[in-house]
Structure 1
Amino acid sequence: MGMIARLPHSALGMLLLLHLVNTLGKDWGSAGLVVALMTVGIAVGAPWRGHMVDKHGLRRALVPSIIVELVVWMLAPHVGFTLLMPLVFIGGLFSLPVFSVVRTSLGVMTTGQNRRSAFALDAISTEMVFIIGPAAAGIVATQINTSVGMTAIAIAASGSGLLLLWLNPPTSSEHPGAVRVRDADAESAGAEVAMIASAPAHLAMAEGELLTAGLKSTKARVARRGRSFKSRFGWVSAGVIAVFIAASGAGLVLSGSEVGIVALLDEHGNSGQLGIVFFFWCFSSLIGGLIYGSLKRSISPIVLLLAMSVLTIPMMFATDTWTLAILSIFSGMLCAPVLSAASERLTELVPEKRRGEAMGWYGSALTGGTALGSPLTGMTIDAMGPGAGFLGVGILGSAICLAALFVQSLRRRRAMARVLASR
């Protein structure tokens, strides 16, 4: 179901680019601007759509997306450039929340190692979608017509929404088909109870004296002011932010690598062999996802992203299509594991009632990193050549990971110091 629902959107970006360049006669810069507007719409809309799933349930949340996707992509081939820009932004804003729904559903249908395997298989299916979708878009645009292709996407996207509406996969443990597990709230509450029970009695007495001295009223005022924010974003923690960093870093490295691959092949006059490199790159991710899904324990997504960033750098030494394809295998094998590990970790950290919104923010972080990686790599390539694109994005991705690991290390040390001090 996830594969079917993702296919129209995986083809949409390529088809929109080709429509703007070939049908409307626009330059690549203008075409990229329109696709960027759609990407921004998706990034803004994903958390909101995920929150609607949490608040109103899957079926009520899907209805606006089904209607808007059908109308927007039916109209898009028949309007000019000026009207197309706000139209694609609206389409992105109301984009079907496939990512949030599928990952949230898998989170409540599986536990433990089964959850890791499920997320890995979902990442693998996503790789297959992004092998099929853009290629199909290119064939339709060149052999038939971009207008026909966008009309087909409108029907397919809304049809996918109706399929989700009909199947109604569980998005909470109260729904049929879900596995009841302790959520992050219960686990954190249990940890707090254990800490309080083991605390020395004099600490509790000191706290009582402080409260009676006047801190109680101060805390009450602070609590009132922060209650609204906490009820809305109380699920956000340092661990959740680390997952979002991993997602945005993965998007940055992947989009930068994609631009580098296209630029390097174009420099050698081998643009027609792009499919060879993409096949090796995506297929290695599929294999990596299978391996990660079979592991007995999880690995930090930050660590996996660091390895992927470092292994992206050797791609700068490619001299032709085949060396580039072979060098892409090493970083490609870590793509699906990074996304699988991040999804698994987010599911463990976020309470069930907030997972739809959290997955939406996760998708926005991934989209934001993707949107940032392409122009940064493009500027590096313009200044220093195609090979430097892989070097730049690899170093930047590694720097993000090292900074995140350093901050995590500091937090652990401070937490340990507080525990020792309390004893």
Structure 2
Amino acid sequence: MLVAAVAVLPGRAWPVAVLISFLTSLAMPPISQISRAMWPRLAEGGTRESIFTLEATGNEIVEMGGPVLSAGVVTLVSPGAAVGVCAFLGAVGAVALGLVMKGAGLDTTPRPAAAAAGSGADKPARQRSLLRDAAFTRAVLVSFFLMGSLFAVNLSVVAWGRNIGHAEAGAGLVALWSVGSALGGVVIAGRGGRSHVPLRIGLLAVGMAALALLLPPVAGSTPYWLLALVMVLGGTAIAPSLAASNSRVGQVAPEARRAEAFGWVAAATTGGVALAQPLSGWLLDTVGPAVAVGCGAAMACLAAIVAGTLRRPKSAEVSAVSEASDVSDVDTGAQW
């Protein structure tokens, strides 16, 4: 429909294309929420951490290869063909996920233990918003600030490349950042074990702060190889940080409501991007890329601080939270 509208309607009718894009996004299959809700059912402990890390690494690979594929189709065929390829891949991915889940017996929602015992704990009247759980709300805030910080850096680096007259330089640095993320994800996934979320996000913030010190107006001229090195090294903390954050959400949320929980995470990450984009743009226009990247580092620091206030629930507490959704806080146990 979007391709047809662009081909038929005049250029002044561009708001119609925006409306179609908005309505299409409402029908987007919630693949990320559903898949992330499944990982805690497949594994526990270090193995679950590795699964979340591999997922975050896969996302980085898709984010690197997706734009390249789209640009290639646009160049070789047409923009309409590129949109068609995106639609095809999205539909195939959703169907493939559904078939895999059905084949693995994961297409049903597990009943809480209390409900199975006939206690009636799963009645809708007993359900309360997950956001009323203090630990869950703070976990969502971690995702909010974390994703905002990542997009602040992306926008700032691309803008820096355009300002110096070499847009490819900024794009190359962003690509190297994604490469570093993929490398970090592969290494962490191979090691397994439990993660320390504040430490991982803190390392990401350090990498962002180092990058800010190398950009204008703080630094007038920095060798490109040094910027590239900082981007690769700083990027190694991206996928592990995202994976650790998502893993903790899956641990804190009630088992029967994990899809809803990751829906809130998706909303929070989108909100973080919505905050970071205009704020970074304003800082770029008024001060420079160093301050905009520094703002991203500050958001990462906030994510690390909020993560540090959370505690890992003990196994018994996790079971209790899975049985009832009206728990006010699961803030006990060992530190993240």
Same fold (TM over 0.5): yes
> Is the alpha carbon distance of 1:260 and 1:253 closer, same or farther for their aligned partners in structure 2, counting shifts above 3 Å?
same
Which of 240, 250, 256 in structure 2 is aligned with 1:353? 256
> Is the alpha carbon distance of 1:161 and 1:228 closer, same or farther for their aligned partners in structure 2, counting shifts above 3 Å?
closer
Question: 2:232 & 2:160 partners in 1: Cα distance?
Answer: 16
Question: 2:98 & 2:169 partners in 1: Cα distance?
Answer: 40
Residue 242 of structure 1: aligned partner: 138
Q: Shift of residue 374 of structure 1?
A: 1.6
Count of residues paired in the alignment: 293
Question: 1:308 & 1:230 partners in 2: Cα distance?
Answer: 40
1:29-108 aligned at under 5 Å gives the runs: 72-73=1-2, 75=4, 77-78=6-7, 79=9, 80-108=13-41
* Aligned residues of 2:152 and 2:296 also touching (Cα < 8 A): yes
* Aligned residues of 1:253 and 1:394 also touching (Cα < 8 A): yes
Q: Shift of residue 168 of structure 1?
A: 3.0
Q: Shift of residue 240 of structure 1?
A: 1.5
Q: Shift of residue 254 of structure 1?
A: 0.8
Q: Which has the larger radius of gyration?
A: 1
Q: Shift of residue 258 of structure 1?
A: 0.4
Question: 2:126 & 2:240 partners in 1: Cα distance?
Answer: 32
* Aligned residues of 1:107 and 1:115 also touching (Cα < 8 A): yes
Q: Shift of residue 231 of structure 1?
A: 0.6
Q: Which has the higher helix share?
A: 1
Does 1:375 pair with 2:278? yes
Question: 2:40 & 2:33 partners in 1: Cα distance?
Answer: 10
Q: Shift of residue 232 of structure 1?
A: 4.1
Does 1:126 pair with 2:59? yes
Q: Shift of residue 397 of structure 1?
A: 2.9
RMSD value, Cα:
3.0
Residue 200 of structure 2: aligned partner: 304
* Aligned residues of 1:243 and 1:301 also touching (Cα < 8 A): no
Runs (4 or more) in structure 1 with deviation over 4 Å come to 72-76, 180-183, 227-230
Structure 2 stretches of 5 or more lacking a match? 115-122, 216-221, 312-328, 330-336
* Aligned residues of 1:73 and 1:154 also touching (Cα < 8 A): no
* Aligned residues of 2:201 and 2:303 also touching (Cα < 8 A): no
Structure 1 stretches of 5 or more lacking a match? 1-71, 187-226, 410-414, 416-423
Question: 2:178 & 2:128 partners in 1: Cα distance?
Answer: 37
SS at match of 2:28: coil
1:399-418 aligned at under 5 Å gives the runs: 399-402=302-305, 405=308
Higher relative contact order (CA 8 A, sep 6+): 2
Q: Shift of residue 285 of structure 1?
A: 0.7
Residue 278 of structure 1: aligned partner: 174
Question: 1:234 & 1:386 partners in 2: Cα distance?
Answer: 37
TM-score normalised to structure 1 length: 0.62
Question: 1:273 & 1:85 partners in 2: Cα distance?
Answer: 30
> Is the alpha carbon distance of 1:118 and 1:138 closer, same or farther for their aligned partners in structure 2, counting shifts above 3 Å?
same
Q: Shift of residue 105 of structure 1?
A: 2.1
Q: Deviations over 1:129-159 (max 9, x none)?
A: 0000012222323443211211222232223
Does 1:326 pair with 2:229? yes
